[in-house]
């Protein structure tokens, strides 16, 4: 029988940094690799705060071969004087006490990325070794820590243990604790580089440098133009309709900065930030921006567009098409409010009205003073509206025939018996023979098969009305069940594994790319939910008597033959397509959940993915030609 006694002795008080080590996920979100990135970014953000305050012009990050990560800045340096109340140096308090820092009052840091004053101390608590060095008043001060506890008092020293490159500033070096980060203490380096690149746009004229000694790589990021440079890079490979519209205005303690540019694509690309924090979930600043943009464009349209040419007000969805924008808010850190612990959605209600007012007033004036740009933008949006209304009419016409909703599943679909989407999967296959093998070899309980014949449209170039009019896409949309366009609801997806299964050759790769383009452009929430996969069928079957091996690439084949090049003469069969496999082979190699290879499609970097699709699938030939020439030596003939 358990002891249910509950008394004063049951109360445990965690002191100092003990709560951080006890519950690290509460402070950095996760103790897997993203948590390591979070730790490094906390230290970088402290250096960035010195830049935002106008003191640091250089921030260097060094990734050592032994796992240590060091961040230098040339700011003022953390104070080292003794705080009488605590009888400790200010440096030690910042590094060992939660909620100790200069960000709670508006004097030291009016604007900062660090909100709660827990960054450095939390990273210290989660590091097996942590070193802090400060250069101030021509002197060097140092303190070392182990798992959040100081090894000695802050001391003045003649030499820099960390090879400090600046005359003043702060240097922090740490190695994550393997007792906490049991999976890895390595950062996701590509993601970290992207974050530093992004921050360099937001803090113009600050020099960021990354030195990765493990990879022997040195990188530098510096942008004079700030978010204007960012908007230009966002539109690389796209045909822009006008020069960027740039807005910068302060209202009390809040500064609003925005850049807007329309291009000829069908896709929206909007980034929002507050105090160098990427608010990927948006928030009140994004809501205010959208309201202002929609209202200003409609106000201008009423003045210049004949009533017969605009049947209804332009909607937010019309305006999204081809919109690239950056919305950047700087405000006192003490007033910041975020929804959730991850600081990805701004919650300050007053910011919505401030952004809406500033952006709206500026755009009203801009459209009047720049009629040529206004005409280009309005023409693009009116075209988007006509396409939306046409798509709506087409969809309604299809709905009247019962094709996109209800129980009228396509006749080509061999559905599964399972009705729980989490236990169901659908294979999208090309061709009659492949479809036949897949239907015969599948597990009927949980696997559905949808054969589609011939190459599909390149949807990078077409709007929704054209997509809906295609029988192939119509069948696919109906089978998936999530809808499309304004009615898309990812929760209605009928299968939580949507598997694109094409031949292993170049032709199959092309068809696979066309499907991925469709999903990325028109069913992106389904991709973001993790429901889209690519099957990996074998390219070769190698046999000798009853000994049989399936090989998936030319490299696999060459490696196999190198290891098995004895007296045995292997029979090598190259599959021309899935249709060449019998049902048992297809099940064994590509469909059996116990033995198959599946690649889950994710969109971790949406902007990079967007640029890649534009380059490879868009109408502009030169970027695609350049890519082909650059990578020609990597290509192999498939004949």
Of 354, 370, 392, which marks where a domain is finished?
392
Confidence (pLDDT) at 637: 41
Whether 171 and 98 share a structural domain: yes
Indicate the helix (H) or strand (E) that contains 466.
helix 464-469
Over residues 521-557, the pLDDT tens digits come to 889 899 989 999 999 999 899 998 888 999 988 889 9
Q: How high is the pLDDT of residue 104?
A: 45
**Residue 239: is its pLDDT beyond 50?**
yes
* CB burial string 310-320: b at 16+ within 10 A, e below: beeebeeebbb
Q: Are residues 520 and 612 in the same domain?
A: yes
The confidence score (pLDDT) of residue 610 equals 55
Q: Which of 180, 204, 221 is the last residue of a domain?
A: 221
| Greater model confidence, 253 or 567 | 253
Share of the chain above pLDDT 70, in %: 85
Report pLDDT digits (tens) over 380-423: 999 888 888 877 776 666 554 444 555 467 888 999 999 999 99
Q: Which long-range contacts (CB under 8 A, 24 or more apart) does 509-515 make?
A: 510/455, 511/430, 511/455, 511/456, 513/616, 513/617, 514/455, 514/456, 514/457, 514/458, 514/459, 515/428, 515/456
Q: Is residue 10 a part of any domain in this protein?
A: no
Write down the pLDDT at residue 500: 93
Percent of the chain with pLDDT strictly greater than 90: 52
Catalytic residue among 50, 73, 430, 475: 430
Cβ burial, residue 50 (10 Å; 0-12/13-18/19+): buried
Domain membership flag for residue 588:
no
Instruction: Say yes or no: 30 and 140 in one domain.
Output: yes
Burial class, 549, CB count within 10 angstroms (exposed 0-12 / middle 13-18 / buried 19+): middle
Query: Does pLDDT of 623 surpass 60?
Result: no
Residues 490 and 364 in one domain: no
CATH code of the domain containing 243: 3.30.230.10
Residue pLDDT, tens place only, 466-503: 787 787 888 899 899 998 877 789 999 999 999 999 88
Q: Clarify whether residues 235 and 264 are in a common domain.
A: yes
Could you tell me if residue 43 is inside a domain? yes
Residue 507 annotated in active site: yes
How many domains, the chain? 3
pTM over 0.75: no
Would the pLDDT of 116 be above 80? no
- 50 and 143, same structural domain? yes
Render pLDDT for 306-362 as a digit per residue (tens, 0 to 9). Answer: 877 777 899 998 999 899 999 999 998 778 888 865 568 899 999 999 999 999 999
Q: How far is CA 142 from CA 53, 86, 135, 170, 286, in A?
A: 24, 19, 9, 10, 43
| Res. 609: pLDDT tops 60 | no
Q: Does the pLDDT value for residue 51 go beyond 70? A: yes
pLDDT at residue 102 is higher than 60: no
Predicted local distance difference test score (pLDDT) of residue 520: 85
503 and 464 share a domain?
Answer: yes
Chain-wide mean pLDDT for the chain? Answer: 85
Catalytic residue among 465, 475, 503, 585: 503
Query: Which range among 147-156, 267-276, 395-404 shows the weakest confidence by mean pLDDT?
Result: 395-404
Region 140-169 average pLDDT: 94
Q: When comparing pLDDT for 341 and 95, which is higher?
A: 95
Please name the residues in contact with 386: beta carbons below 8 A apart, sequence gap of 6 or more: none
Whether 146 is in a domain gets the answer yes
Is 503 annotated as catalytic? yes
Domain presence at residue 237 = yes
Check: CB of residue 265 under 8 Å from CB of residue 241: no
Query: Of 392, 419, 443, at which residue does a domain stop?
Result: 392
Residue partners of 219: CB distance under 8 A and separation at least 6: 193, 209, 210, 212
Q: What is the DSSP letter of 333?
A: G
The answer to whether residues 51 and 85 belong to one domain is yes
User: Coil, strand or helix: which one is 150?
Assistant: strand
Same-domain status, 120 and 164: yes
Looking at the structure, tell me whether residues 237 and 190 fall in a common domain: no
- CATH code at 209? 3.30.565.10
CA pair distance 413, 409, nearest whole angstrom: 7
Listed range (25-29, 120-124, 243-247, 262-266) with the worst mean pLDDT: 25-29
Answer yes or no: is pLDDT of 115 > 80: no
Q: How far from 381 is each of 241, 326, 476, CA to CA, in Å?
A: 12, 19, 29
612-621 pLDDT tens trace:
555 555 555 5
Given the residues 507, 528, 556, 607, select the one marked as catalytic.
507
Let me know whether 250 and 208 are in one domain.
no
d(CA 492, CA 530): 14
Residue 457 pLDDT grade (very low, low, confident, very high; cuts 50, 70, 90): confident
Does residue 605 have an active-site annotation?
Answer: no
Check residue 620 and give left, alpha or beta (phi > 0: left; psi -120 to 50: alpha).
beta
Domain annotation covers residue 498: yes
Q: What is the pLDDT of residue 503?
A: 87
Task: Round to whole Å and give the CA distance between 487 and 233.
Answer: 32
pLDDT at 625: 58
Please state the rounded mean pLDDT for residues 104-110.
51
Active-site residue, selected from the candidate residues 443, 505, 528, 556: 505
Query: Which CATH number covers residue 428?
Result: 3.40.50.670
* Six-digit token string for 358: 């500033």
**Pairwise CA distance, residues 23 & 333, whole Å:** 25
For residue 93, the enclosing domain spans 18-221
350 and 426 belong to one structural domain:
no
420 part of the active site = no
Helix (H/G/I), strand (E/B), else coil: 415: coil
């Amino acid at each position: 029988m358990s002891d249910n006694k509950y008394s004063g002795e049951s109360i445990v008080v965690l002191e100092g940094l003990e709560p951080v080590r006890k519950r690290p996920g509460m402070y950095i979100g996760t103790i897997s690799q993203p948590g390591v990135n979070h730790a490094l970014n906390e230290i970088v953000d402290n250096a960035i705060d010195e830049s935002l305050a106008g003191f640091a012009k250089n921030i260097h990050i060094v990734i050592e071969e032994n796992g240590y990560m060091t961040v230098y800045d040339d700011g003022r340096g953390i104070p080292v004087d003794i705080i009488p109340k605590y009888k400790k140096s200010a440096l030690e308090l910042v590094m060992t006490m939660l909620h100790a820092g200069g960000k709670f009052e508006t004097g030291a840091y009016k604007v900062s990325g660090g909100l709660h004053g827990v960054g450095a101390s939390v990273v210290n608590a989660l590091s097996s070794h942590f070193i802090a060095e400060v250069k101030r008043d021509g002197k060097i001060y140092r303190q070392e820590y182990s798992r959040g506890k100081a090894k000695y008092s802050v001391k003045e020293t003649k030499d820099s243990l960390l090879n400090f490159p600046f005359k003043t500033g702060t240097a922090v070096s740490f190695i994550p604790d393997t007792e906490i980060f049991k999976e890895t203490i390595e950062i996701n380096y590509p993601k970290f580089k992207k974050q530093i690149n992004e921050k360099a746009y937001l803090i113009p004229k600050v020099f960021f440098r990354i030195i990765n000694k493990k990879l022997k790589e040195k990188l530098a990021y510096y942008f004079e133009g700030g978010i204007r440079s960012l908007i230009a890079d966002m539109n690389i490979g796209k045909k822009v309709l006008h020069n960027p519209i740039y807005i910068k205005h302060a209202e009390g303690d809040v500064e609003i900065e925005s850049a807007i540019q329309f291009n000829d694509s069908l896709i929206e690309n909007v980034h929002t930030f507050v105090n160098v924090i990427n608010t990927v979930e948006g928030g009140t600043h994004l809501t205010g921006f959208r309201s202002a943009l929609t209202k200003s464009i409609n106000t201008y349209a009423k003045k210049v567009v004949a009533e017969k040419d605009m049947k209804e007000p332009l909607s937010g969805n019309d305006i999204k098409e081809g919109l690239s924008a950056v919305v950047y808010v700087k405000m006192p850190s003490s007033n910041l409010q975020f929804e959730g612990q991850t600081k990805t959605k701004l919650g300050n209600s007053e910011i919505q009205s401030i952004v809406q007012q500033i952006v709206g007033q500026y755009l009203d004036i801009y459209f009047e003073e720049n009629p040529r740009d206004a005409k280009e933008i309005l023409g693009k949006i009116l075209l988007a509206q006509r396409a939306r209304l046409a798509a709506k009419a087409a969809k309604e016409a299809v709905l009247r025939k019962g094709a996109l909703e209800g129980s009228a599943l396509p006749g080509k679909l061999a559905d599964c018996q399972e009705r729980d989407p989490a236990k169901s999967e659908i294979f999208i296959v090309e061709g009659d023979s492949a479809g036949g093998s897949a239907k015969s070899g599948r597990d009927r309980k949980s696997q559905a098969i949808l054969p589609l014949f011939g190459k599909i449209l390149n949807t990078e170039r077409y709007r929704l009305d054209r997509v809906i009019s295609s029988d192939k896409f119509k069948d696919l949309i109906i089978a998936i069940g999530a809808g499309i366009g304004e009615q898309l609801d990812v929760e209605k997806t009928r299968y939580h594994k949507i598997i694109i299964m094409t031949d292993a050759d170049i032709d199959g790769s092309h068809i696979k790319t066309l499907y991925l383009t469709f999903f990325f452009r028109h069913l992106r929430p389904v991709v973001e939910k993790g429901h889209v996969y690519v099957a990996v069928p074998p390219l070769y079957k190698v046999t000798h008597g009853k000994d049989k091996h399936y090989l998936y690439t030319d490299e696999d084949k060459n490696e196999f033959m190198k290891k098995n090049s004895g007296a045995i003469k292997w029979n090598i069969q190259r599959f021309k397509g899935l249709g060449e496999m019998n049902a048992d082979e297809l099940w064994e190699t590509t469909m059996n959940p116990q033995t198959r290879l599946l690649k889950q499609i994710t969109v971790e970097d949406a902007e990079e993915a967007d640029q890649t699709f534009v380059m490879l699938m868009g109408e502009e030939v030169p970027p695609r030609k350049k890519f082909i020439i650059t990578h020609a030596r990597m290509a192999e003939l498939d004949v």
